[in-house]
Amino acid sequence: MTNAKAKVIVITGASGGIGEALACEMAGPATYFALIARDKDRLAPVLKKIRARGADGECAGIDIRDRDTLHAYLGDLDGRLPVDMVIANAGVTAGLGPERSRERDADSDRQIDVNYRGAVNTVTGLVSGMQARGSGQIVLVSSLAGMRALPDMPTYSATKAALIAYGHSLRGWLKPSGVSVTILCPGFVTSPMSARHQGPKPLEMPAGKAARLMANAIARRKAFYAFPFLLATGILLQNLLPPKISDLFMGGFKADIDSDPRY
């Protein structure tokens, strides 16, 4: 890295979708990215894009479910280049089984392990260094589904709700040490993950637009940011209704989730 004062940012799930879009949106001459994903080869084009925007960085092919390997890498990185921000973005999705049968055990386990445990592994690999320095920002990418569970995506919704609770807890714990926490709850964002969602996707937006909104919330160190506004507001109001009435609205979100070809 040529600029010793560059802001060092870790992004998981950086090989596509929101992760790639965020890296490109936040890239600039004074930024250095550690891009993490399972498939290191898919990170190379992303690194090329951020370098074209004046940033620099490195790629790490790591499965965030592998805590020991992830912690070893993050510890080494933080020793070489103290990390200013970590964006726990990696996530997977799945739905119900055939004819609305229960979720497959493997699908449920994978979502818990990647969406929640993987995010925890990412945070715990860096939080002690941030505390010691008295600075840093932790960003957790949750979902509107964490604010109001989707009937056809039980485990996905639960893991995203867990991230919200985890983030609120982290914020209270870390505030005295100067480390801030931002929880992001996007709605439907155009991506390979969204393409597998066969059902209504109200107010879906391109990944680039979502990244701009998220980067702005991150820069402002917002504690919690949910979007798009109309959908997020509708969810907040809906949650005030009695469950029997609120559940009626969720019928309009019925969906089938195609199998993830990566697994």
Whether cis (ω within 30° of 0) applies to the bond prior to 202 is no
pLDDT computed for residue 1 by the predictor: 44
Residue range 194-221: mean pLDDT, rounded:
95
Q: If DSSP codes are grouped into helix, strand and coil, which group holds residue 13?
A: coil
List C-alpha distances in Å: 85 to 2, 104, 260: 19, 35, 29
pLDDT tens digits for 120-150?
Answer: 999 999 999 999 999 999 999 999 999 999 9
pLDDT computed for residue 253 by the predictor: 81
Total-model pTM: 0.95
pLDDT tens digits for 83-104?
Answer: 999 999 999 999 999 989 999 9
Pairing relationship of beta strands 256-257 and 197-198 according to DSSP bridges: antiparallel
pLDDT tens digits for 17-29?
Answer: 999 999 999 999 9
Alpha helix stretches (DSSP H) within the chain:
17-26, 44-52, 67-80, 105-111, 118-124, 127-133, 154-174, 192-195, 207-219, 229-238, 243-249
pLDDT tens digits for 40-88?
Answer: 999 999 999 999 999 999 999 999 999 999 999 999 999 999 999 999 9
Percent of the chain with pLDDT over 70: 98
The DSSP symbol for 199 reads S
**Which helix H or strand E contains 183, and what residues bound it?**
strand 180-185
Q: Is the pLDDT of residue 2 over 70?
A: no
Judge whether 19 and 92 are in contact, CB under 8 Å: no
pLDDT tens digits for 108-126?
Answer: 999 999 999 999 999 999 9
Q: Is the pLDDT of residue 227 over 50?
A: yes
CATH T-level topology, domain 7-257: Rossmann fold (3.40.50)
